[in-house]
Amino acid sequence: MMAATGIRVEGVSKRYTHRVKGEVYAAREVSLEVRTGEFVTLLGPSGCGKTTTLRMIAGFERPDEGRILLGDQDVTGVPANRRNIGFVFQNYALFPHLSIFENVAYGLRVRNEPDTEIRRQVGAVLDLVGLAGYERQFPAQLSGGEQQRVALARAIVIRPRVLLFDEPLSNLDARLRVQMRHEIRDLQQRLAITTVYVTHDQEEAMAVSDRIAVMSEGTIVQEGSAEDLYHRPASEFVARFIGRVNLVAGRVVGFLGEALQVEALGARVRVREAPLGARPGDTLRLVLRPEAIGLSAGSGSVSATVLARTFLGEKIEYLVRCGNETLHVTRHNTGGGAIFAEGQAVALRFPDGDVAVLGPGSEA
Amino acid sequence: MLWALLALFVLYPLGAMFARIFRDDTGFGIAGALATLADANQVRAFWNSLLLGTLVGVLGTVAGFVFAFSAARTKLPRWMATAIDAAVLLPLVSPPFTAAIAMIFSFGPRGLITYELLGIKGFTVYGLGSTLFSEALTYFPIAYLTLRPILAAIDSNIEGMALSLGASRWRVFRTVTLPLCIPGIANAFLLLFAASLADFATPLILAGNSFPVLPTQAYLQITGLFDLRGGAVLSFALLVPALAVFALQRYWVSRRSYVTVTGKGAGQAPFDSAAPSVRALLLAACAALTLAIVYLYALLLYASVVVALGANHALTAQHYKVIFTEGLKAIRDTLIIAGCAMPLGGLYGILLGYLVAKRNFPGRGAMELVSMVNYALPGTIVGIAYLIAFNDPPVELTGTALIIVACYVFRYGPTGIRATVALLQQIDRSLEEASQGLGASSSTTFRRVTLPLILPAFFAGLGVVFIRSMTAISATIFLVSIGWTLITVKILDNMTELSLGPAAAFSVLVVAIVFAVMAAISWMLSLLRAPGAAPVPSLLGG
């Protein structure tokens, strides 16, 4: 339906002058490729350059260095109104003086489409986002979620080459946020439209994206699928930003075939994807996700004490003391499973063979 | 182009006035100017002006605060809030000396209260007391309009918090509410001080010989003694405190506001900040003042339909007949001038406001400052400056309608500039980007998005320019001529000739016309306003 294209961001930088710090980079040599029809999320804390990068793709900011291509066309110098992109703003940016119909029709009117065509397309797209019948309302009369849908309809009705979202769900309450992210993903899949999405919410990013690019301090620090980033973070920053994590110091004690054997907290675990050049005696940090640590009553090879317990319904979170480390451990509430008391002695079981590690040089 | 206009109608007249002040037969010097100022009578007038301004500032701010506090922070019944708003509106839309005229009707030599009711003969209404009361009554709405949004914007939770920490209501008011309002109160005081300083008609009618003030002295110097230079010097003396107030307001008060006034209401019901007894007291005070205003205006209306107030109370349409025959020219001239100034002033406001807020060009700050000059200066100064500048070639405008129109446009257009800038600052950048992203060029974006959104500022500008064109006098009294005259000037003439009936009839007519036009503009605004959109800022705010 849409003439979607891929996006190539090539070594793009944007500088600005800070009152105190002088010249700083909002984005620094950012390179990113988004394939046609792919959904890529730029994820990172505030100030990491994700919105700047998105605005440069849209044409609202001009990069100081680098190129931006839509398909084969270099659009670096093309103004935003000639790029044919759809943009959904954080605050929706609906025109307060225009009705819902006219808001959605805006881009079509600018393109001088005939009236009958405009009516047909606006009707169809409002139908698509579930807002048929709202044509004569005004933005201020709609709820946040409805405004969000109008913004979405307005962006897709012009059949943009790419669709860009700037933290579109951050003004909605938690329940609606979850619902809308499914709707956005569903719509993107149905329209097969190339999409770049900016958020600081890692769960939202994992829910909607094919691929996530984690940004920090103006650069992309790691790209990959949600699973990749979660299970094989390349740095402490990514490990901590996506999900909860225990980083436990360990020492390389030897090789077991391809795998590396690491000792930590008195236990030995195998690491398959070891950093290159690791040798016995090196210190590494194991990336242990809370749900990957086994917990049982009594004592075992790794014994620990329960410090605190938080009951969260579907799961139970424990804080346990093990040697000098305090670890997060999560258990699913299976109903029949054991629930441990605070102060109880427990045995920990580390996963064997599927543990990621961070080398000494991955502090970022 | 705009610069040329600003130079011609703002900078040039001021320059011409300065030149006139500092040049005497022997060359440039300040000796001549100083000699005029050293005159004991003028020194007295200077201090009188400051005294009057200070008192009006204090009294008006107190009254404005009482009204604003009652309206914003006690849970008033709806009809009472409406009554307060209406009472406040009346002085705002009438000529500044209407209250003064009604005072004469009430307390004058044949006044309704002093003569008829109390039977006092030889009571003199003229002097500081009545001038003060009349000016405070006329200008307290400014304080009300300044303070009400600030009081309304204070989060009730802050007061609730203080209350829950154990403070009494009075203590909460003293330690929380009042301190948060201090910048607003200072601002209101300065605005009132400036208004009183510039007011010329009220003292002319009420102050009498015993209490000379600068603007009236300047006027008498020019119209009585034909001493243009002396008048200029006197009004120049006015400039010093006026500029001080302007500077204070702009650079001191504006940086000390704790409460950001946004269009967004707090959502919850206002916390009842006053104990029931205090509330009753406040309401009584509001009611008394409201009644006083209503009484004065009712009196004006009554005076316009009886033969002679205080002497013969037979109903008559004679006064209206007079103003629509002898006074017809003034009415026609005023309407023509207001009708010309209105669109020009509105356009000027929106254009300059847009340039100042959205475009980056060298001299932008200077342009904004220059555009505010005529607005900030007392009308007497502007009037005298225009008179001096445009009396002779190269630009000879004296006696034309153009000089009056120009005066109104550049003096009252700045309200539109401020409204436009304020609106543009509220419009998020993303709105224009959204339009651009959808493929609209920047001119389309301006036409379809920006312009409709700042249209309310245009109408606000129209409204203010029209109202002021109908009611102002301090600047334009120097600019009227045989060819072009104004209703307000006519009213003043009637007052000095003691033909009070026609003066009252004229005043009623002005108030009626202004109300009609304001209603029309409000109606236009409501048509423009998208349902559910934020309300348009008050026509008279600022």
SS (H, E, C) B64-103: HHHHHHHHHHCCCCHHHHHHHHHHHHHHHHCCCCHHHHHH
Instruction: Say whether A139 and B530 touch across the interface (CB within 8 A).
Output: yes
By three-state DSSP, how is residue A13 classified?
strand
Number of domains forming the structure of chain B: 1
Contacts of B532 in chain A (CB under 8 A): 138-141
Residue B431 sits at the chain A interface (C-beta within 8 Å) = yes
Contacts of A150 in chain B (CB under 8 A): none
By three-state DSSP, how is residue A30 classified?
strand
Per residue in A55-90, pLDDT (tens digit) is: 999 988 899 999 999 988 999 988 888 888 999 988
Residue B542 lies in a domain: no
Only one residue has tokens 């007011």, namely: B199
Q: Which residues face A303 on adjacent strands?
A: A347
Domain of B12, CATH number, reads 1.10.3720.10
Residue B533 lies in a domain: no
The domain segmentation of chain A, as residue ranges, is 7-240, 244-358
> What tens-digit pLDDT sequence spans chain B (542 residues)?
777 777 667 777 777 777 766 665 555 556 666 666 667 777 777 888 888 888 888 888 888 888 888 887 777 777 777 777 777 878 877 777 777 788 777 776 666 665 555 555 555 667 777 788 888 888 888 888 888 877 877 766 667 666 667 677 777 777 777 777 887 888 888 888 888 887 877 887 777 767 777 777 777 777 777 777 777 777 777 777 877 877 777 776 666 656 554 444 444 444 566 667 777 888 888 888 888 888 888 888 887 777 776 666 667 777 777 777 777 777 888 888 888 888 888 888 888 888 888 777 777 777 777 777 777 777 778 888 877 777 766 666 666 777 788 888 888 878 788 778 877 877 788 888 899 888 888 888 888 888 888 887 888 788 888 888 888 777 777 777 777 777 888 787 777 777 777 888 888 888 888 888 888 887 877 776 655 444 444 444 33
By three-state DSSP, how is residue A25 classified?
strand
* Cβ-based burial of B51 (10 A; exposed 0-12, middle 13-18, buried ≥19): middle
What's the CA angle centered on B498, arms B493 and B504, to 5 degrees? 75
Residue among A97, A110, A140 minimizing CB distance to B438: A110
> Which stretches of chain A drop beneath a pLDDT of 70?
1-3, 274, 336-337, 360-364
Instruction: Say whether A154 and B440 touch across the interface (CB within 8 A).
Output: no
- One of 3.90.25.10, 3.40.50.300, 3.30.465.10, 1.20.120.1200 is the CATH number of A7-240, namely 3.40.50.300
- Min CA distance, A79 vs chain B (Å)? 9
d(CA B214, CA B380): 9
d(CA B483, CA B522): 33
Say what the pLDDT of residue B395 is. 64
Residue B28 lies in a domain: no
Contacts of A93 in chain B (CB under 8 A): 428, 430-431, 433-434
d(CA B406, CA B413): 10
- Min CA distance, B445 vs chain A (Å)? 10
Instruction: Say whether B438 and A140 touch across the interface (CB within 8 A).
Output: no
> Which range of residues forms the domain containing residue B341?
2-20+42-528
d(CA A41, CA A211): 6
Residue B264 sits at the chain A interface (C-beta within 8 Å) = no
Residue among B428, B439, B533 minimizing CB distance to A91: B428
Q: Which residues face B232 on adjacent strands?
A: none
Contacts of A155 in chain B (CB under 8 A): 437-438
Residue B34 lies in a domain: no
Instruction: Say whether A138 and B530 touch across the interface (CB within 8 A).
Output: yes
Task: Name residue A227's amino acid.
Answer: E
Structure ipTM over 0.90, yes or no: no
Residue B534 lies in a domain: no
The CATH number of A244-358 is: 2.40.50.140
CA B98 to chain centre: 13
Contacts of A79 in chain B (CB under 8 A): 436
Contacts of B533 in chain A (CB under 8 A): 96-97, 138, 140
Strand ranges across the sheet with A325-332: A294-297, A345-349, A302-311, A315-322, A325-332
